[in-house]
Structure 1
Amino acid sequence: MAVYRIGSQDIEYTLRRSLRARKASLSVTPKSFELLVPEAATDEQISAVLDRRRAWIIETVQHMAERARAQTRVYQFVTGAKIPYRGRMTRLTIEPFDGSLVEVSFRNGFQIRKPADLSPESSDTIIESALRLWLKRRVRDDARAFIDRHGERHGLKPRSVQIKDQKHLWGSCGKDRRINLNWHLVFAPVPVLEYAVVHEMCHLKYRNHEPRFWDLVGRVLPDWEARKQWLDNNENFLGWETLKVS
């Protein structure tokens, strides 16, 4: 991460250099902002861009901090606790059983069975781990379904799709035609997840966010702007923060 200092505050941001970029551009990522610059950009040119956009950076960082404070907080993984899932707050039901591993299923809410002999000290950590694994598998399966739905018809078939815990991106598309997706997209409504998948699929053909790229996104998903707007407005909803009870 690069650092931009405003007064006494150090603000981290992602700096990306690109051979294709003709000029510098700033964009917001889930928990930071990103500066894309031409490959040959000097430190002085980068500093000049940041200084010109100082007011935007301050406003953006404040906005992201407000959203972080609004994020869902989970104190214990017990019956009645809620987490976001597919755009809605969803209730957990925890039941002990005779098995040796935590089991997660979904039926009008999360049904979680935990080993009856699981110690209270380790219960939350083990349940949370099992729940995260279940959610990652679900977003992977959904992503593959969207690729099957749109890929062949539009000539946008990636080599593979991987689900990752990305801190600053919703997704990425490598030159090797492999798509990476942030597993937190499982918390968004299904159409929003579909938009994120299609977005990365379209990068298989156009690497930058040029007009031709957005034209292609629109041919695949005519209402992509509304889906993108939901994602831009609801980063704080896409996940949870685990807090320990003192």
Structure 2
Amino acid sequence: MNLVFKFGTKDIEFTVKYSNRKTLAIEVEPSGKVNVVAPMGVSQEEIIKKVRSKAAWIVQKQYEVKNINVNKINREAVNGESYLYLGRNYTLQLIDDKTIKKIQVKLFRGKFIVTTPTKDEVKIKEALEQWYREKALQKICDRVKYYRPFFNKEPKAIKVKEQKKRWASCTSKDELLFNWRCVMAPAYILDYIVVHEMCHMYHKDHSKEFWNMVSDVMPDYEGRKEWLRYNGIKLDL
């Protein structure tokens, strides 16, 4: 269902889905599209009233996602190219080895060492991505475990996925989904992303209560939040 209301001279259109949740949740996608999840039985008039009360926040969020830098940094799979891991650049070193069948990737003495039987750049990048995915899941699980004492509930699942335009998300079932590129960001930024999504297990929106909870766990979160705002999803292979 699509609904719309006027905020000043701007029409704010949004889609509505109903669920068994108790409160109304508003999400602004990276494209600027507005999605609302409402409790069963709530009237259209009540939904519009509640969404209208968040109109200023919605407009600001749409402005932010419109201006976020989502440009890829296209790296080549060649000797000497640099690749990010936890905020640091590491030089790529390719080693030809026709005796192996599968490309091997490891971080060793400040370098990404890729031992490969092929020079196919697509296959080398696929191997690098798989390495990032494995490291991302490992690091994220470690950080969730670290911050677990701050929360009296735990995620139903932790998954690493392909998410081109967002760092992470929390589902209605409290599953935490992370962009595998998170592990390219500095460690203190990764921590913020983890805490942010863990707080979404309690508050599905970005209400005052949500930010108060983030602040209780991570008092200096605002500086980390700004890093994400200005860098956007521009980390890539």
Q: Give 1:203's aligned amino acid.
A: H
2:7 alignment counterpart: none
1:90 alignment counterpart: 90
Using the size of structure 2 for normalisation, the TM-score is 0.74
2:6 alignment counterpart: none
Note the C-alpha offset of 1:133.
0.6
Note the C-alpha offset of 1:57.
8.9
2:180 alignment counterpart: 183
Q: Give 2:104's aligned amino acid.
A: E
Distance 1:92 1:16, change over 3 A: farther
Identical counterparts, % of pairs? 25
Q: Distance in 2 between matches of 1:56 and 1:222?
A: 23
Asked if the contact 2:16–2:36 (Cα under 8 Å) also holds between the matched residues in 1, the reply is: yes
Distance 1:140 1:79, change over 3 A: same
Note the C-alpha offset of 1:224.
1.1
Q: Distance in 2 between matches of 1:162 and 1:57?
A: 26
Note the C-alpha offset of 1:88.
3.2
Q: Distance in 1 between matches of 2:92 and 2:85?
A: 11
Q: Distance in 2 between matches of 1:77 and 1:205?
A: 42
Q: Give 1:192's aligned amino acid.
A: I
1:33 alignment counterpart: 32
Asked if the contact 1:72–1:236 (Cα under 8 Å) also holds between the matched residues in 2, the reply is: no
1:103 aligns with 2:100: no
Q: Give 1:207's aligned amino acid.
A: K
2:24 alignment counterpart: 21
Q: Give 1:105's aligned amino acid.
A: K
Asked if the contact 1:72–1:239 (Cα under 8 Å) also holds between the matched residues in 2, the reply is: yes
Note the C-alpha offset of 1:164.
0.6
2:67 alignment counterpart: 63
Note the C-alpha offset of 1:38.
6.2
Of 204, 222, 226, 2:223 maps to: 226
Q: Give 1:163's aligned amino acid.
A: V
1:138 aligns with 2:135: yes
Using the size of structure 1 for normalisation, the TM-score is 0.72
- The answer for unaligned runs of 5 or more in structure 2 is 3-12
Of 202, 208, 232, 1:205 maps to: 202
Note the C-alpha offset of 1:61.
6.8
Distance 1:203 1:59, change over 3 A: closer
1:10 alignment counterpart: none
- The number of residues matched between the two structures is 211
Note the C-alpha offset of 1:68.
3.9
Note the C-alpha offset of 1:37.
3.8
Q: Distance in 2 between matches of 1:200 and 1:58?
A: 20
State the Cα deviation string for residues 139-194 of structure 1 (Å, max 9, x = none). Answer: 11111111111113422311220001023432222232221111121121111111
Q: Distance in 2 between matches of 1:219 and 1:83?
A: 34
Distance 1:82 1:56, change over 3 A: same
Give the root-mean-square deviation of aligned CA atoms: 3.3
Asked if the contact 2:150–2:217 (Cα under 8 Å) also holds between the matched residues in 1, the reply is: no
